[in-house]
């Protein structure tokens, strides 16, 4: 169990609401749907009402610092079933990349690779006390788009497994290009944190508000969003 999962949840009962396409960049089809994830009629571009309003505030704040720039919504609500799909997909991708076959792995080797997967993907738990963050409708993966509609290079890809995913990976960079990566990550965190979000300590793209990770990061007594029930 990760430390944040010990935070109690007092579900507030807010509904999921759609993220307005006129205020954000919303890719279609969704990245995980293109890989074969089945949302069973649900949309990944939904959030709790109490999370959407601060997100709009963050977009407005971004306009102050960088007029014309927008927040790109990579992922928001993610059912546990989709979480499991992406864990399995990432596990298989690592095997393929390394030329490994699952049936030939020892239990220890399989567990070691799964541990790598879980550095990025939360365990797809069905336990209501330990929901994956995205299953609560309170977590969001985002990046930036400039005034020309070009996605900003943040020095690493969303969902990338490796050191580059850490928010401060480029903090001591010497080259102007790598310094710019850090500056863009700082900007993204600034507008989100000013709006009330908390950033994942190991992922530059992941922010949440009201879930267990948010409560743990900000030393709150409890979370207000648990897993969204079907």
Any idea which residues carry the catalytic annotation? 203
Query: Given the structure tokens 């307005």, which residue do they identify?
Result: 20
Q: Are 134 and 75 in contact (CB under 8 A)?
A: yes
> Which of 84, 92, 93, 213 shows the shortest CA–CA distance to 141?
213
**Would you say 88 is a known binding-site residue?**
no
Tokens for 62? Answer: 């971004």
Q: Are 204 and 156 in contact (CB under 8 A)?
A: yes
Q: Are 77 and 134 in contact (CB under 8 A)?
A: yes
**Would you say 134 is a known binding-site residue?**
yes
Cα separation, 164 vs 25, in Å, equals 24
> Which of 21, 13, 71, 11 shows the shortest CA–CA distance to 45?
21
Cα separation, 172 vs 157, in Å, equals 20
Q: What 8-state DSSP symbol labels residue 227?
A: P
Cα separation, 155 vs 162, in Å, equals 12
SS3 label, residue 150: coil
**Would you say 75 is a known binding-site residue?**
no
Per the annotation, binding residues are: 134, 141, 206
Per the annotation, binding residues for Zn(2+) are: 134, 141, 206
């Amino acid at each position: 169990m990760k430390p944040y999962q010990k935070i109690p949840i007092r579900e507030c009962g807010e509904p999921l609401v759609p993220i307005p396409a006129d205020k954000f960049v919303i890719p279609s089809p969704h990245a995980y749907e293109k890989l074969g994830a089945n949302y069973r009629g649900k949309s990944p571009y939904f959030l709790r009402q109490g999370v959407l309003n601060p997100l709009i505030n963050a977009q407005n704040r971004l306009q102050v610092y960088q007029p014309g720039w927008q927040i790109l919504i990579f992922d928001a609500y993610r059912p546990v079933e989709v979480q499991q799909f992406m864990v399995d997909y990432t596990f298989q991708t690592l095997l393929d990349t390394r030329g490994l076959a699952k049936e030939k792995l020892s239990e220890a080797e399989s567990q070691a690779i799964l541990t790598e997967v879980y550095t990025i993907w939360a365990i797809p738990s069905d336990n209501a006390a330990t929901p994956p963050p995205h299953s609560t409708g309170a977590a969001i993966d985002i990046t930036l788009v400039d005034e020309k509609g070009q996605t900003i290079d943040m020095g690493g890809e969303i969902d990338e497994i490796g050191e580059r995913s850490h928010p401060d990976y480029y903090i001591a960079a010497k080259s102007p290009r790598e310094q710019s990566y850090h500056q863009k990550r700082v900007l993204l965190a600034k507008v989100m944190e000013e709006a009330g979000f908390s950033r994942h300590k190991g992922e530059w793209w992941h922010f949440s508000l009201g879930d267990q990770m948010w409560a743990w990061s900000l030393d709150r007594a409890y979370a207000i969003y648990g897993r969204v029930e079907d």
